[in-house]
Structure 1
Amino acid sequence: MKSPHFNPPVIGLLAALCVALGHLLAAVPNIELLTTGVFISGYWTGMVSGIAVGGIAIGLYSMLNPYGMAPPPLFVAQILSYTIVGGVAGVLGRRIRRIGWKAALLFAACGLCFTVLYALLTTLAYVLTAGNHRVLFWGSLIQGLGFYVTHMITNTVFFFLLVPFILNRLDRLGWTSELRGSVHE
């Protein structure tokens, strides 16, 4: 078994790219590319590096948000969500050998699951910040349902279309195997 490699410059560059992707569609509510970027980064670099990219990217994005930084419970929920995205992607990157239709469907399912997890964790964090009441949690979920559904649909589509497309292109360029040789855990 290979010993884990950790390449801080690559992690930093990928985290910065993910932050830029997050800001790309920031004006459009609940349509974002940050999750897709973190997933591709984790898949590409491995579990440990994916966790680092996810945590750094959402941490910077949240701290540099033009609407203001998230309250601490929400900030923690965001970091937890995105480290899970990067870590799971890193595990999948070690297991998936061919990116075809089955992988695209798996990626779409991941996009949906990650978005549901993010919605639940951030809503729970909001409730902890605003009063810690069960009715507030369910009321917030119901009130935000339109936003959540939009986020779920767009992330599922992005994961189904963009993730396989980009990973296949990186592989054809030879970047995937080269990077995995130097960074992949």
Structure 2
Amino acid sequence: YLLAYLPNIELFTLTIFLSGFILGKRDGMIVGFFSSFIFSTFNPIGASPLPLLLFQLTHYSIIGLIGALTNGVLKNRSFFTQDEDLYKMSVMVIFGFIGAIITTSFQVFSSLVHVLSFLGSIDAFLPYFLSGIPFTIVHILGNTLGFIFILPGIIPLIKKMLN
């Protein structure tokens, strides 16, 4: 909860993606599910309402899966060797793109869940979503930069620790 009071700045998504990347599909999904349950239920700012909690459990489980699938796709590529320096443009672009897509999907679908659950009409989605654009931009940029600059450094480090 270190960053809980900074709006939309978080390392949670990156950590769950990393767990799937390192641990594989099943364990990445388990980490995503249980960590999002703990985080969303015991958050010092307040627990997530049930519809949002169900979305978060699903979303973060899928992020663990995406981490594992990304490793599966990248591991046989010539530009990607997990034991070496991953601060290569191709790797950084891929990680940044994935971080941006994951975060954008979270913002859109969590807003949709909120609007449908609490405002009762899809008509309220666009005004609701647009009113939060500054926070959405901060969230997308923060996660994209985290995926670009943190993942390439931490993956080889964890791999070395596990060997």
TM-score (norm 2): 0.89
Q: Does 1:42 align with 2:30?
A: no
Q: How does 1:11-50 map to 2 (within 5 A)?
A: 23-50=1-28
- Residue segments in structure 2 that go unaligned for 5+ positions in a row: 81-85
- Residue segments in structure 1 that go unaligned for 5+ positions in a row: 1-22, 179-185
**How far 1:69 sits from its partner (Å)?**
1.1
Alignment partner of 1:80 out of 58, 61, 70: 58
Distance in 2, Cα, partners of 1:36 & 1:149: 17
Code of the residue aligned with 1:145 in structure 2: it is I
Q: How does 1:61-140 map to 2 (within 5 A)?
A: 61-97=39-75, 98=80, 99=86, 100-140=88-128
SS at structure 2 position matched to 1:24: coil
Match of 1:19 in 2: none
1:98-144 per-residue CA deviation (whole Å, 9 max, x = no partner) reads 24331221111110001011111110111122122122111111000
Match of 1:151 in 2: 139
**How far 1:174 sits from its partner (Å)?**
4.8
Distance in 2, Cα, partners of 1:93 & 1:78: 23
**May I ask how many residue pairs the two structures share in their alignment?**
153
Match of 2:157 in 1: 169
Distance in 1, Cα, partners of 2:161 & 2:45: 39
Code of the residue aligned with 2:8 in structure 1: it is N
Answer yes or no: is the 8 Å Cα contact 2:116–2:122 preserved in 1: no
Code of the residue aligned with 2:153 in structure 1: it is F
- Aligned sequence identity (%): 27
Distance in 2, Cα, partners of 1:80 & 1:104: 26
Distance in 2, Cα, partners of 1:127 & 1:32: 23
**How far 1:52 sits from its partner (Å)?**
0.8
Question: Which segments of structure 1 move beyond 6 Å, counting only runs of 4 or more?
Answer: none
TM-score (norm 1): 0.79
Distance in 1, Cα, partners of 2:67 & 2:102: 11
Code of the residue aligned with 2:47 in structure 1: it is M
Answer yes or no: is the 8 Å Cα contact 1:71–1:129 preserved in 2: no
Code of the residue aligned with 1:152 in structure 2: it is I
Answer yes or no: is the 8 Å Cα contact 2:99–2:143 preserved in 1: yes
Answer yes or no: is the 8 Å Cα contact 1:127–1:136 preserved in 2: yes
The two structures, once aligned, show a CA RMSD in angstroms of 1.3
1:153-182 per-residue CA deviation (whole Å, 9 max, x = no partner) reads 0000000000111002223x252xx4xxxx
